[in-house]
Chains A and B, each alone.
With several copies, the nearest count.
Chain A
């Protein structure tokens, strides 16, 4: 169940080739240093859509490629290795997963456009410093046939280029209550929506989005109003598995570059990779990355199979992959020595992205807590 099918292996290979050519660290640097407004290359994203990436979680009836979560995970691992930027996480994973619970008309309207890379639908969930969906304060008050949204979201990935937002809102109860939450689909050009891009250390897209009395029709609700809890968990877990897969890709690439450096760099008359203390640290790290990778495949497979343990493994994978990526990138800097501290080398780019991806949708501490809760202790 954890081994890859031939189709999956092919998908991963072709993604690796494509990203190496069109969405590598070189391209990330170009976007960063040019202070690019979009934050990714739209042409490349369209090409990725043509290859089926954007529709990976969209069923074929809506024009998707339906590669599933294992496929999405393989793509994310490649994104991690190349530090590719695209609206994959926001739109192809989070947006698409959320929309699958929307009204049929909304699905017909948005899913094909997501799959074609024509529309970007971003998830607006966090409000404070910590990922804590139950703490949602952004309110959606019913007023006749509409709901009125008031509040602010932060760290909305691709928020400043989104065509629409899936917004987590409170329709009853108080911040802190797990119940009383709803999801609404809000087009970015609705009056009252304002967006400000945030300057993140990973040079990726994120935005602060303010909803100042935004009126949306009640039928834009995704799932039951006041009872969107299970859908929210499901959407977030899809994103967590994708991020975990990306983190393993980051960890593996940072680690492999480090091992290569250890073999090449000489000091005190020897390749530094021959020093046993470094060898043991590298060996431990290798083991941790292997373990992390297994959790990601397992989580994705369970989810594709509709197995209820998928939620547990989403947290296991997010925690373990976050940990592995943090250690791998920290060690990459340390083992590269002074040169690893320079912006000229890519190591720092991996370090920064690992930290952001590790924090998004809950860091390893939050997910350790969730694992305890889900297991029941």
Chain B
């Protein structure tokens, strides 16, 4: 593994050189659809040689998770260094070598709440893209209100027996392991009886069923547990202490969704997309009303990006983002919905056809429909506003 220098300028040069050598040219363009994303896992089939090379090269240096400790498969970078790494990736338009719920969510939770053994067991396979994770939070009657969770885990000495149903488990049908919230004490009030457990999706009694969305096929599944046996060693954090882990994880998720906006859109500026659809020969968007609305969306996008930058800097100075991630999550969802609506409108009648794709390969109608979920998944817009009102503004409960 490369020894990275402390000196920022040398460090940047190292990263630049490393990327130059190891990032295949095919991986230097934004991902357009599911097929361009590498999720890894036991059952993963690489879409191209380049995708495989890129993952292997990055994993060998710990660069799939640059901020994690080297002992657990990361590169041990400081947050300032991670920022430089991200900048340099962005500069050459490099795709992420590996996307995964293990990286975004389980990893940070394990780093904070896991035992050393748990970290050694679960983190490196995540970093190398060997094990693909899914998360089991929501249930049919417990969406925003996780306190209403009903999936129960009965204590059978050295193991739990899990029964219940989860919904919105992304890629449950392709994941190897699941981390989820279960009720270990049915008598405890509200969230006090919840525990955070992990288990293999191949365990007998686990079944999944894909969910079709208004936008078409989706990664989401319903997941059913029928007498699933889970060793107690698979408990993360304390028994009945799952709420603490889950809360931390939800914040991570919001920061992730909000802050890096990964997966929400393809990364091209809105105005370029609209310009191609509705611009004249000189590149001016002909309809002044559409042009104005795009300008306002760009203003808000630049404002949101600057806010993320500011909060991240704050965090580097010791002032955690914390509940402010709810602002980012809320605004980011709203902004992507506006983006997709404007692209749809710029496409006019063409945008109303399922088979219409943009010149750059981007989908229009499905992306517009899919974006409607941005303000629901990972915490609804309403829940985000409640958090801002109650925790940031300290407004009273009724």
A130 — which chain B residues lie within 8 A by C-beta?
348-349
CA distance A295 to B300 in the complex (A): 9
* Interface flag for A2 (CB, 8 Å): yes
Asked whether B349 lies within 8 Å of A359 as measured between CB atoms, the reply is yes
Asked whether A371 lies within 8 Å of B295 as measured between CB atoms, the reply is yes
B389 — which chain A residues lie within 8 A by C-beta?
276, 279-280, 282-283
* Interface flag for B369 (CB, 8 Å): yes
CA distance A154 to B369 in the complex (A): 23
Given known contacts A334-B372, A338-B143, is B167 in contact with A267 (CB within 8 Å)? no
Asked whether A3 lies within 8 Å of B317 as measured between CB atoms, the reply is yes
Instruction: Give residues of chain A (284-307) contacting chain B, Cβ–Cβ below 8 Å.
Output: 284, 286-287, 290-295, 297-298
A-B contacts counted at CB < 8 A amount to 221
Q: Mark B287-320, 1 if CB is under 8 A from A, else 0.
A: 1011110111011101110110110011001000
Q: Mark A43-71, 1 if CB is under 8 A from B, else 0.
A: 00000000000000000000000000000
Asked whether A297 lies within 8 Å of B271 as measured between CB atoms, the reply is no
* Interface flag for B343 (CB, 8 Å): no
Nearest-neighbor residue (CB-CB) of A271 within chain B: B396
Given known contacts A290-B327, A342-B213, A343-B213, is B396 in contact with A368 (CB within 8 Å)? no
How large, as a class, is the contact surface on chain B? 35 or more
Given known contacts A2-B313, A334-B376, is B306 in contact with A297 (CB within 8 Å)? yes
Q: How far is the CB of B125 from chain A (nearest CB, A)?
A: 30
Asked whether A343 lies within 8 Å of B168 as measured between CB atoms, the reply is no
Q: How far is the CB of B307 from chain A (nearest CB, A)?
A: 4
CA distance A144 to B381 in the complex (A): 66
How large, as a class, is the contact surface on chain A? 35 or more
* Interface flag for A330 (CB, 8 Å): yes
Choice from A1, A262, A377 contacting B313 with Cβ under 8 Å: A1
Choice from A202, A282, A292, A312 contacting B393 with Cβ under 8 Å: A282
Choice from A128, A290, A352, A372 contacting B348 with Cβ under 8 Å: A128
Given known contacts A2-B306, A274-B396, is B386 in contact with A129 (CB within 8 Å)? no
CA distance A131 to B303 in the complex (A): 24
Given known contacts A1-B313, A291-B304, A291-B331, is B283 in contact with A377 (CB within 8 Å)? yes
Q: Can you spell out 16 A-B residue pairs with CB atoms less than 8 angstroms apart?
A: A3-B317, A199-B353, A276-B389, A279-B389, A279-B393, A283-B393, A295-B303, A337-B380, A338-B167, A341-B372, A342-B212, A355-B352, A365-B290, A365-B345, A369-B292, A371-B295
Q: 9 tightest CB-CB pairs across the interface, nearest first?
A: A348-B214, A129-B348, A279-B389, A283-B388, A294-B306, A291-B303, A294-B307, A283-B385, A2-B310
Interfacial residues, chain B to chain A (CB-CB below 8 A): 138, 143-145, 147-148, 167-168, 211-215, 269, 271-272, 274-275, 277, 279, 283-285, 287, 289-292, 294-296, 298-300, 302-304, 306-307, 309-310, 313-314, 317, 324, 327, 330-331, 344-345, 347-355, 365, 369, 372-373, 375-377, 380-382, 384-386, 388-390, 392-398
